[in-house]
Amino acid sequence: MTASTEARETALWAAQAAADKLATDVSIVDVSDRLAITDAFVLASAPNERQVQSIVDEVEDRLREHGIKAVRREGVAESRWVLLDFVDVVVHVQHAEERAYYSLERLWKDCPTIPFTDSALPAPAPAAGGSAAVPAAQDADAVPGGISGDGEAAPQALDPATSDAPQADTTR
């Protein structure tokens, strides 16, 4: 059995809220096959207690916007390892030292992960030879500044005034 659709959606909202507050190592573990009490863990880290608390506040605010409220909060006073229990999803926000020491990913390594990509990060560039590659020009004269088959520059490349290619800004 895998995590419910609602649990996956909640986990992704929580993960994005954490990432928006600059959490590091954000990941989601589907623990539904191993635990009967919850479907997913969201794991996030921060380098200091203040940022841990900021991440916790953002996760709670963001999920509250979706009508989801934590039923239990633990560790808020120390802000070293805060646990937010949303029933189907449990969010663990840990200080980086606790994250390294307890290594929850290692403890739950037999469980599948739910893919999460921070929406604030730029999309990865397509792989070489991928479908988004720019088609090669059939002849050098079709490309401003192109090289002809004999290694000579195409005529329009010799005169920048007649080239359709954008010119470099040299006014700095």
Per-residue pLDDT tens digits for 61-109: 999 999 999 999 999 999 999 999 999 999 999 999 999 999 999 999 9
Lowest-confidence pick of 44-48, 116-120, 143-147: 143-147
Share of the chain above pLDDT 90, in %: 67
As a whole number of angstroms, the distance between CA 149 and CA 147 comes to 7
Q: pLDDT at position 122, please?
A: 76
E strands present in the chain: 24-30, 40-46, 72-74, 81-85, 89-95
Q: pLDDT at position 49, please?
A: 96
Q: pLDDT at position 55, please?
A: 98
Residue ranges of the domains in the chain?
5-107, 136-161
As a whole number of angstroms, the distance between CA 26 and CA 43 comes to 6
5-107 CATH, one of 3.40.50.300, 1.10.3720.10, 1.25.40.10, 3.30.460.10: 3.30.460.10
pLDDT at 141 over 90: no
As a whole number of angstroms, the distance between CA 52 and CA 93 comes to 6
Query: Exposure of 9 by Cβ count < 10 A (0-12 exposed, 13-18 middle, 19+ buried)?
Result: middle
As a whole number of angstroms, the distance between CA 95 and CA 45 comes to 6
What b/e readout covers 69-87, taking b as 16+ CB neighbours within 10 angstroms? Answer: ebeeeebeeebebbbbebe
Q: Are the beta carbons of 49 and 57 closer than 8 angstroms? A: no
pTM above 0.75, yes or no: no
Per-residue pLDDT tens digits for 17-29: 999 999 999 999 9
Nearest one of 106, 79, 100, 84 to 15, comparing CA atoms? 84
pLDDT at 165 over 70: no
How distant, in Å, are the alpha carbons of 28, 80, 86, 87 from that of 71?
20, 20, 6, 7
pLDDT at 150 over 90: no
Q: What is the average pLDDT across 36-43?
A: 96
